[in-house]
């Protein structure tokens, strides 16, 4: 993948302006709902600050909290596994299934298993994997990844979902009624829940002091799976730890409001220990997280609670779609996580931003996302993952702007060229935008002229009224 | 007092009237205004493109040439933010003496009224670096009391009618070199912004950042030439 990877994909996405506008509006609606819901919490900003500090504290003592959590979970009867990377995670999950001869797994949403490519791994080993989150099931049937970490099929219109269901679930062709489509999905998934051998869930929060964990869903699919199957496997990244049960109050209030503008997810399910006769496994996965933890500039990215508020607010994401990003987590947060995994493969992601900072302002745990994007840009160019001419152009610019004579001359030349550029419309700027008509005199030329006829002429003076006179030195 | 005025490269070359308006606002307040010859550019294009080291010379030039001033003013929120952040990273006290124009008028000069008159419907484009970077107002994402320094100044202008917007602080898509390397997304964002302003009947779009207006103005010139862009300094000095 080259440095213009995102811009090329965005170009394709924007070839259908109406669809792009629909995508933008749909996600903007989610952002607006989030605003209305956040505004109703008088202590919203204090909650964000508390969440940020709890996460920073936890990350500063992550090893201790992980051990505390694992000890408590084991004391509760949960079998705890540690995976250094995605491959080990996949082997552990497969090992559990194989030991019991289990062939069919129902999954509730887990971005971690996307990260580890669990589905293809298990399928290669003859295991049937059913994603049970509705959006995720839709994209699974399409054999596509989620385009959004909270709303995996947000890029699809109702009629397109109808087509997928027609092909895979046998619903009538042309069906686009949401009630009928969800009913079809319900029947389809219910059958899978009843016949599953094992259930896999993600983890939103793992509480060190109790050894329990919380899974948030809107569809209850995590519960349907975990309560019916004889084996429950929960997979989590090591950054999902929070120290105390009471901290859940902070995060659960922030999560759903930030994610979808709901006061709370429909289900916030607390798992503490296996029910009699059930086996409960927990897989703790590093997969590059401790490397990111050691990068002080980017450590805070591990505070992310995967609400995707930064996706919904990002004007670039809304106008380029999740598939325009090279990493499975798209949007602003994905763009600061991806280079930790592979700087070269994801070199265009930190550049897919205007650095407007909306992501940072919306983030419920106050990750300085836009500042980290800028830092990754420096590292990516330093590692040589940028075209040679870009550096040459920047060096030439820096050389010119630091030398007044050269700057005046280059400016004069450039201004002479403006009408031609506007006429030809060949460069990425003038293809869609005019450049201004070149003024006869630059500011500095005017200023030098003024300075030669001191003092400042009265025509250039306005007389604002000030609260207090400005002291003159 | 003596103020250092920083006029960024593109304003110097393409929008000298913005520099003149800023100069006249500041001299009108009774200040002596000086414009050092170097640097011409703050170095942000290099930094945002991933070459902060290449642009570091501009910061060094600025720190040397402007250190003699108590206050430094620039009519460009974006350049000011870049100076501030770069100087803060170097622990330079100069970082706290650099002001965006509205910030200076509002916080330092404490301007309470202006003799300006501009009988038009105006849309305020809140540039991201001014809004979220310098805190010229409250970003819509944050649940804090509403305030806006540019709006307070525009309300001092006789006859001016501020139009409301559907998305009061969405980015215009300029983003420095983003406007070139990601031109499709950039243009799409810009079009949405101008539509919002036009939909609410703006005759003029203004901002504390001319770079955003260069982008929006470039689109307007092709798609809706009846709507103009003007830097806030031009409106605050309009008679």
Size of interface A-B (CB pairs under 8 A): 259
Q: A380-437: per-residue pLDDT in tens?
A: 999 999 999 999 999 999 999 999 999 999 999 999 999 999 999 999 999 999 999 9
Q: What is the DSSP letter of A143?
A: T
CB neighbour list of residue A106: distance below 8 Å, 6 or more residues apart: A130, A132, A192, A193, A196, A198, A199, A200, A221, A224, A225, A229
Q: Is the pLDDT of residue A460 over 90?
A: no
Q: What is the DSSP letter of B137?
A: B
Helix/strand/coil for A224: helix
Q: Is the pLDDT of residue A208 over 60?
A: yes
CATH top class, domain A57-246+254-287: alpha beta
Q: Is the pLDDT of residue A473 over 70?
A: no
User: pTM of the entire structure?
Assistant: 0.95
Query: What's the alpha-carbon Rg for chain B, to the nearest Å?
Result: 17
> Per the CB < 8 Å rule, is B31 touching A404?
no
Q: Give the C-alpha separation, A128 to A106, whole Å.
A: 8
Strands (E), chain B: 2-5, 32-34, 71-74, 98-100, 111-113, 121-125, 161-162, 204-207, 228-231
What is the percent of chain B where pLDDT is above 90?
99
CA-based nearest residue to A137, from A118, A121, A153: A153
Cα Dmax for chain A: 94
Which pLDDT band holds residue A451 (cuts at 50, 70, 90)?
Answer: confident
User: Span A243-260, mean pLDDT?
Assistant: 98
Query: Which backbone phi and psi does A55 adopt, to 5 degrees?
Result: -65, -40
CB-based contact, A5 to chain B, within 8 Å: no
First vs last C-alpha separation in chain A: 59
* Partners of residue A10 in chain B, C-beta under 8 Å: 182, 184-185
Q: A280-295: per-residue pLDDT in tens?
A: 999 999 999 999 999 9
pLDDT of residue A452: 83
HSE of B51, CA atoms in CB hemisphere, 13 A: 25
User: Span B70-95, mean pLDDT?
Assistant: 97
Q: What is the mean pLDDT of chain A?
A: 94
For residue B139, give the chain A residue with the closest CA: A361
CA distances from A226 to A115, A222, B75, B144 (A): 22, 6, 60, 41
In whole angstroms, what separates CA A402 from the centre of its chain? 39
Which pLDDT band holds residue A3 (cuts at 50, 70, 90)?
Answer: very low
CB A106 within 8 Å of CB A199: yes
pLDDT of residue A463: 60
Q: Is the pLDDT of residue B80 over 60?
A: yes
Q: What is the DSSP letter of A100?
A: H
Q: Is the pLDDT of residue A464 over 80?
A: no
Q: Give the C-alpha separation, A200 to A446, whole Å.
A: 71
H or E stretch at A292: helix A289-294
pLDDT of residue A457: 46
Domain ranges of chain B: 2-108, 121-236
Q: A168-184: per-residue pLDDT in tens?
A: 999 999 999 999 999 99
Q: Which residue has the tokens 């929120």?
A: B77
CB neighbour list of residue A54: distance below 8 Å, 6 or more residues apart: A242, A243, A247, A250, A251
What is the percent of chain A where pLDDT is above 70?
95
CATH top class, domain B121-236: alpha beta
Q: B93-134: per-residue pLDDT in tens?
A: 999 999 999 999 999 999 999 999 999 999 999 999 999 999
User: Span A229-252, mean pLDDT?
Assistant: 98
**Sheet strands side by side (includes A241-242):** A241-242, A205-207, A212-217, A267-271
From A401's Cα to the closest Cα of chain B, the distance in A is 5
What CATH number was assigned to the domain covering residues A1-40+291-386?
A: 1.10.1060
> Per the CB < 8 Å rule, is B132 touching A358?
yes
CATH of the domain spanning B2-108, picked from 1.10.390, 3.30.530, 1.10.3470, 3.40.50? 3.40.50
Domain ranges of chain A: 1-40+291-386, 57-246+254-287, 401-449
Q: Give the C-alpha separation, B222 to B194, whole Å.
A: 12
For residue A359, give the chain B residue with the closest CA: B141
Q: Give the C-alpha separation, A72 to A204, whole Å.
A: 18
Q: Give the C-alpha separation, A350 to A327, whole Å.
A: 11
Query: Which backbone phi and psi does B17 adopt, to 5 degrees?
Result: -60, -30
Q: What is the mean pLDDT of chain B?
A: 97
CB-based contact, B55 to chain A, within 8 Å: yes
């Amino acid at each position: 993948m080259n440095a213009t990877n995102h811009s090329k994909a965005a170009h394709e996405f924007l070839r259908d302006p109406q669809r792009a506008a629909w995508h933008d509006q749909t996600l903007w609606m989610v952002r607006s709902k989030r605003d209305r819901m956040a505004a109703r919490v008088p202590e919203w900003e204090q909650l964000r600050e508390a969440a940020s500090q709890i996460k920073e504290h936890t990350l500063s003592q992550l090893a201790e909290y992980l051990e505390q959590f694992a000890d408590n979970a084991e004391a509760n009867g949960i079998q705890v596994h540690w995976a250094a990377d995605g491959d080990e995670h996949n082997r552990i999950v497969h090992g559990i299934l194989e030991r019991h001869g289990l062939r069919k797994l129902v999954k509730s949403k887990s971005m971690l298993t996307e990260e580890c490519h669990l589905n293809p791994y298990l399928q290669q080993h003859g295991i049937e994997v059913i994603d049970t989150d509705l959006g995720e099931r839709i994209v699974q049937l399409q054999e596509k990844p989620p385009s959004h970490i909270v709303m995996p099929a947000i890029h699809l219109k109702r009629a397109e979902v109808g087509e997928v269901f027609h092909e895979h679930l046998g619903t009538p062709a042309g069906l686009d009624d949401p009630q009928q489509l969800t009913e079809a999905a319900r029947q389809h998934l219910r059958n899978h829940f009843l016949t599953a051998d094992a259930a896999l869930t993600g983890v939103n929060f793992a509480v060190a002091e109790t050894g329990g964990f919380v899974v948030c869903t809107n569809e209850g699919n995590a519960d349907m799976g975990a309560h019916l199957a004889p084996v429950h496997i929960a997979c989590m990244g090591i950054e999902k730890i929070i120290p105390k049960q009471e901290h859940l109050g902070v995060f659960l209030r922030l999560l759903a409001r930030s994610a979808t503008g709901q006061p709370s997810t429909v289900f916030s399910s607390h798992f503490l220990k296996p029910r009699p006769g059930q086996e409960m496994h927990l897989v703790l996965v590093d997969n590059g997280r401790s490397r990111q933890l050691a990068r002080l500039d980017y450590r805070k990215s591990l505070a992310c609670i995967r609400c995707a508020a930064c996706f919904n607010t990002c004007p670039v994401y809304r106008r380029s779609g999740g598939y325009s990003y090279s990493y499975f987590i798209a949007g602003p947060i994905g763009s600061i996580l991806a280079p930790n995994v592979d700087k070269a493969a994801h070199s265009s992601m930190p550049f897919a931003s205007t650095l407007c900072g909306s992501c940072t302002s919306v983030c419920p745990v106050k990750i300085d996302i836009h500042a980290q994007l800028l830092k990754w840009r420096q590292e990516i160019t330093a590692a040589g993952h940028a075209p040679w001419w870009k550096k040459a152009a920047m060096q030439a610019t820096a050389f010119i702007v630091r030398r007044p004579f050269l700057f005046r001359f280059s400016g004069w030349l450039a201004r002479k060229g403006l009408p031609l550029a506007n006429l030809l419309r060949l460069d990425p700027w003038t293809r869609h935008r005019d450049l201004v008509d070149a003024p006869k005199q630059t500011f500095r030329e005017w200023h030098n002229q003024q300075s030669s006829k001191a003092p400042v002429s009265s025509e250039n003076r306005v007389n604002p009224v000030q609260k207090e006179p400005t002291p003159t030195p | 007092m003596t103020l250092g005025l920083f006029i960024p490269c593109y304003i110097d070359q393409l929008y000298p009237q913005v520099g003149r308006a800023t100069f006249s606002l500041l001299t009108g307040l009774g200040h002596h205004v000086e414009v050092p010859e170097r640097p011409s550019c703050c170095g942000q294009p290099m930094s945002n493109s991933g070459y902060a080291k290449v642009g570091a010379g501009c910061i060094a030039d600025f720190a040397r040439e402007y250190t003699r001033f108590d206050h430094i003013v620039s009519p460009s929120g974006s350049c000011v933010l870049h100076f501030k952040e770069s100087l803060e990273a170097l622990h330079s006290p100069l970082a706290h003496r650099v002001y965006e124009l509205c910030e200076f008028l509002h916080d330092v000069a404490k301007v309470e009224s202006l003799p300006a008159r501009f009988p038009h419907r105006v849309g305020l484009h809140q540039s991201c670096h001014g809004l979220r970077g310098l805190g010229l107002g409250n970003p819509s994402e944050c649940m804090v009391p509403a305030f806006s320094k540019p709006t307070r100044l525009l309300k001092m202008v006789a006859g001016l009618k501020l139009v409301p917007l559907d998305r009061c602080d969405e980015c215009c898509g300029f983003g420095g070199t983003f406007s070139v390397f990601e031109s499709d997304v950039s243009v799409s964002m810009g079009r949405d912004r101008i539509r919002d302003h036009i939909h609410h009947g703006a005759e003029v779009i203004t901002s504390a950042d001319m770079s955003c207006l260069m982008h929006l103005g470039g689109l307007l010139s092709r798609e809706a030439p009846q709507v103009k862009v003007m830097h806030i300094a031009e409106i605050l000095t309009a008679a």
